[in-house]
C-alpha cells in the first residue's frame, strides 16, 4: 500500500485557537468575568514525556508523548489516547477542552482529558507499538487511574492498546485495575457495544436532525468523510436507516456512487486491502471533493479542521453532523451559519463513545456486565435527551446548536467550580 497523503487542513490551523474562541464566546454570553475565563481556559494538569523505543532492528528512537487534564471539577478526567504523526501539545490541549464540554453536556460525572504520542502507527510493528504503549503508560501512570483520569481509544489506538495500558498500569499496582481505561476487549472487562458506540450516537443524532428539518431518511443522501472507527459504523448505520450514502473516504482515497454504496461489499474490500481505494462498486474521486458533493447530509468523521473558510461556501449539504472532534473551524462555522446550514456540533454528535465508556467504567466499579440491549437503549436515551435539550435551548434563544451546546456545558462546569470553591 502506498503511503497515505496527509489530510487537508487549510494552513494547518491550530485547533486550540478554535477551542479557546468557542469558550470565550460562551463565557461572554453567560456574563462571566475574566477570572472565570482564565480558570476554564487553562488545563488543570498536563505532562509531556519522552517515550524511548528500542526498535526491532536494535536502534533507539525517542518519541514525544502527552497527557492533558483540562478539568476535573465534575469528576475524574476522561479522554482518549491518539497515536498520530500530527499529535502536538496544543492539539491535545484542544481535544481535552472539548472533552470537558462533551462530558458536561452529556451530564456525565467526568472532566475532560486527552493524550497522545507523535507517531505514525503504520510504520511500526505490533511488537514496537506494544513497547511504545507500555512505556507511555508507565510515564503517565502517576496521574492516571480509575478515580483520577481514565484513558480510552482514539485515532491510531484500539482495544488492544487499552489492554496493554491496563496491564502496564495494573503491574505497577500489584493487582488488576479494570477501571483504569475504557474501550478494552470485552474479555478484560470492556463493555458490550463500546466499539460501535460513537458511530451509533452519530447516527441517532443525524436521524433526529433529519426529523427536525422535516426530511425523510429514504429521501436523503449522505457523504461520510473518514472510514475508520467512527465513519465506517456511522455510514453503515445511516444506510440501515434508509439513507442513501453515496460517498465515503479514508486517508488514502474517496469513492462515490450515486446509486448508493454497498457496505457489505465495501467492508469486505476494506478488511482485505486496508483502504476504500480500488473498490469496484464505486468511482474514485478527489478526497477534498467529498466535502462539497451535492448531498443532504455531510458527516465529517476524520480529524479536526477539515471544513474551513476555503470550502465552507461550497458545501451543498443542508445538515452537517460532526463525527470528528473539531472538524469545523470558527471561520467556517460563521459561513455555514449565515448560509443556514444546520451544524450538529461534535460535543453532542460524537458523544456516544464517552457515554458507553462511562457505562463501562460503571460496570467495572460494579464488577457486573450489562447486556448489549441495555447498553444500546441507554445510549440512545442519553443521546436523544441531550439533542432535545440543545435544540430547545437553541430555538428558545435564537442560537446555533453549537452555541446552545457550549453554553449548557460551560455553565455546568462553572457551577461545579463555584460549588467546590477555590482551595485557599
- Closest by Cα among 180, 204, 236 to 365: 180
What is the four-CA torsion angle of 269, 273, 278, 282, rounded to 10 degrees? 30
114 is catalytic: yes
Reduced 3-state DSSP string for 215-253: CCHHHCEEEEECCCCCHHHHHHHHHHCCCEEEEEECCCC
- The answer to whether the CB of 40 falls within 8 A of the CB of 413 is yes
Number of Cβ atoms within 10 Å of the Cβ of 30: 13
Q: How far apart are the first and last CA of the chain?
A: 58
| Nearest one of 294, 335, 337 to 311, comparing CA atoms | 335
Inter-residue contact 203 to 239 (CB < 8 Å)? no
| Strand bridging mode 111-118 / 60-69 | antiparallel
Q: Hey, which bits of 257-376 come out as E strands?
A: 283-285, 297-300, 319-321, 342-344
Residue 3 is classified by DSSP as P
- Is 110:103 a contact under the CB 8 Å cutoff? yes
Sheet holding 77-84, edge to edge: 45-54, 60-69, 111-118, 77-84, 149-153
Q: Assess contact for 142 and 155: CB atoms under 8 A.
A: no
The 10 Å Cβ neighbour count of residue 175 is 6
- Among residues 102, 114, 184, 229, the one annotated as catalytic is 114
Q: Could you tell me the strand order of the sheet in which 254-256 lies?
A: 283-285, 254-256, 244-249, 221-225, 297-300, 319-321, 342-344
3-state secondary structure of 126: helix
Active site residues: 114
Amino acid at each position: 500500500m502506498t503511503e497515505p497523503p496527509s489530510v487537508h487542513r487549510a494552513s494547518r490551523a491550530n485547533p486550540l485557537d478554535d477551542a479557546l474562541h468557542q469558550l470565550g464566546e460562551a463565557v461572554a454570553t453567560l456574563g462571566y468575568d475574566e477570572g472565570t475565563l482564565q480558570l476554564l481556559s487553562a488545563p488543570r494538569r498536563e505532562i509531556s514525556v519522552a517515550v524511548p523505543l528500542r526498535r526491532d532492528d536494535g536502534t533507539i528512537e525517542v518519541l514525544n508523548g502527552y497527557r492533558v487534564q483540562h478539568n476535573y471539577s465534575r469528576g475524574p478526567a476522561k479522554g482518549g489516547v491518539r497515536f498520530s504523526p500530527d499529535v502536538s501539545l496544543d492539539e491535545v490541549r484542544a481535544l481535552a477542552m472539548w472533552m470537558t464540554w462533551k462530558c458536561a453536556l452529556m451530564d456525565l460525572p467526568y472532566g475532560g482529558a486527552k493524550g497522545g504520542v507523535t507517531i505514525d502507527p503504520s510504520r511500526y510493528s505490533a511488537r514496537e507499538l506494544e513497547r511504545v504503549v507500555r512505556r507511555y503508560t508507565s510515564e503517565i501512570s502517576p496521574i492516571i487511574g480509575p478515580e483520577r483520569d481514565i484513558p480510552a481509544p482514539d485515532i491510531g489506538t484500539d482495544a488492544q492498546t487499552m489492554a496493554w495500558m491496563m496491564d502496564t498500569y495494573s503491574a505497577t499496582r500489584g493487582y488488576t485495575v479494570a477501571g483504569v481505561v475504557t474501550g478494552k476487549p470485552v474479555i478484560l472487562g470492556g463493555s458490550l457495544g463500546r466499539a460501535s458506540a460513537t458511530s451509533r450516537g452519530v447516527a441517532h443524532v443525524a436521524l433526529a436532525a433529519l426529523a427536525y428539518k422535516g426530511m425523510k431518511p429514504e429521501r436523503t443522501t449522505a457523504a461520510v468523510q473518514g472510514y475508520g472507527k467512527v465513519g465506517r459504523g456511522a455510514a453503515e448505520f445511516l444506510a440501515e436507516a434508509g439513507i442513501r450514502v453515496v460517498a465515503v473516504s479514508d486517508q488514502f482515497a474517496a469513492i462515490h456512487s450515486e446509486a448508493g454504496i454497498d457496505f457489505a461489499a465495501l467492508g469486505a474490500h476494506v478488511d482485505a486491502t486496508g483502504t476504500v481505494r480500488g473498490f469496484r462498486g464505486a468511482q474514485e474521486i478527489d478526497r477534498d471533493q467529498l466535502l462539497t458533493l451535492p448531498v443532504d447530509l455531510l458527516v465529517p468523521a476524520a480529524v479536526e479542521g477539515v471544513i474551513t473558510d476555503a470550502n465552507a461556501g461550497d458545501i451543498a449539504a443542508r445538515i452537517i453532523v460532526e463525527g470528528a472532534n473539531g472538524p469545523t473551524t470558527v471561520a467556517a462555522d460563521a459561513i455555514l451559519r449565515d448560509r443556514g446550514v444546520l451544524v450538529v456540533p461534535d460535543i453532542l454528535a460524537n458523544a456516544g463513545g464517552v457515554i458507553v465508556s462511562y457505562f463501562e467504567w460503571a460496570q467495572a466499579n460494579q464488577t457486573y456486565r450489562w447486556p448489549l440491549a441495555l447498553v444500546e437503549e441507554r445510549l440512545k436515551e442519553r443521546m436523544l435527551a441531550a439533542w432535545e435539550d440543545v435544540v430547545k435551548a437553541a430555538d428558545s434563544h435564537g442560537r446555533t446548536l453549537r452555541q446552545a451546546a457550549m453554553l449548557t456545558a460551560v455553565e455546568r462546569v462553572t457551577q461545579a467550580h463555584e460549588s467546590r470553591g477555590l482551595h485557599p
